[in-house]
Amino acid sequence: MDLKKRIEKFKELEYEFNKDFYMKLKEEQTPHTLFIGCSDSRVDAETLFQATAGEIFQVRNIANIVPREEEPDTHPSVVSAIEYAVEILQVKNIIVCGHSNCGGCAAIRKLEMYKEKLPYTGEWLSQSISISDYIDYTYPEMKEEDKLIMLEKLNAVQQLDNLMTYNFVNQKFATGELNLQAYYYDIGTGSISVYDYDSVFSDMIQEITSSRKLFIDQEKKESLLN
């Protein structure tokens, strides 16, 4: 694959035919939506929304995770992009998009192995381990493939709750200036399920968040004792 030739074709075939658009685009960006998606190369925001350049501000990471405000070892690169989108760009929507066959969620199901093999990835994914534990505890007889699908969906909705831990998101959501939704994109069928912040999973998310807080409090106590 010759990436240099692809770039040259962009200039020749795309830019030259839409020069006025790009000349205007250079002045500013006014995206209407912040898209928080998985880094998976099969998930493309512009394609899903049929959008053009300048419409969607994006944050991409393994398993589309948003760190919670109150937890230690936060990841400011993710939060800074969200803050900038909400406070400066004043986006109207935040979409968290999970998807089928997610390698990140599959790794959460085998987290201890990943922590040994890929320590940075394992540390990042550990933020969502409470969701996986909840599924195992609540649905012990469920088939593994169904547990993974549930994890992919719950993980996307959980991030809406994580977003609401930030005052700059919470306040704008409360006034109706900001819309929060989670999507689940089934790559093989092309279907997209949409979940609002107050969704069918709300009770589950509350239970997961409560157990997560108990776990973190316990870790803090143990660290003080040691």
> In this structure, is residue 50 part of a structural domain?
yes
CA-based nearest residue to 107, from 127, 84, 87: 127
The pair of three-digit structure tokens given for residue 220, joined into one six-digit string: 């803090």
Q: Among positive and negative, which fits the CA dihedral 169, 175, 177, 181? A: positive
The pair of three-digit structure tokens given for residue 106, joined into one six-digit string: 């599959």
Burial (CB count within 10 angstroms: exposed 0-12, middle 13-18, buried 19+), residue 124: buried
> In this structure, is residue 21 part of a structural domain?
no
> In this structure, is residue 1 part of a structural domain?
no
Residue 90 DSSP code: -
Which CATH number goes with the domain that contains 154? 3.40.1050.10
pLDDT the model gives residue 215: 54
**Helix-helix angle 129-138:144-163, to 10 degrees:** 130
Alpha helix stretches (DSSP H) within 88-198: 103-108, 111-117, 119-125, 129-138, 144-163, 167-174
For the entire predicted model, the pTM comes to 0.90
Question: What residues have CB less than 8 Å from 205, skipping those under 6 apart?
Answer: 154, 157, 158, 160, 161
> In this structure, is residue 25 part of a structural domain?
no
Give the residue carrying structure tokens 């940075």: 120
> In this structure, is residue 11 part of a structural domain?
no
> In this structure, is residue 209 part of a structural domain?
yes
> In this structure, is residue 132 part of a structural domain?
yes
Q: Are 186 and 192 in contact (CB under 8 A)?
A: yes
Query: Which structural domain range is residue 59 located in?
Result: 31-225
> In this structure, is residue 159 part of a structural domain?
yes
pLDDT by 10s per residue, the chain, length 226 = 899 999 999 999 999 999 999 999 999 999 999 999 999 999 999 999 999 999 999 999 999 999 999 875 668 899 999 999 999 999 999 999 999 999 999 999 999 988 899 999 999 999 999 999 999 999 999 999 999 999 999 999 999 999 999 999 999 999 999 999 999 999 999 999 999 887 767 778 888 887 776 655 554 454 455 5
Task: Provide the domain count of the chain.
Answer: 1
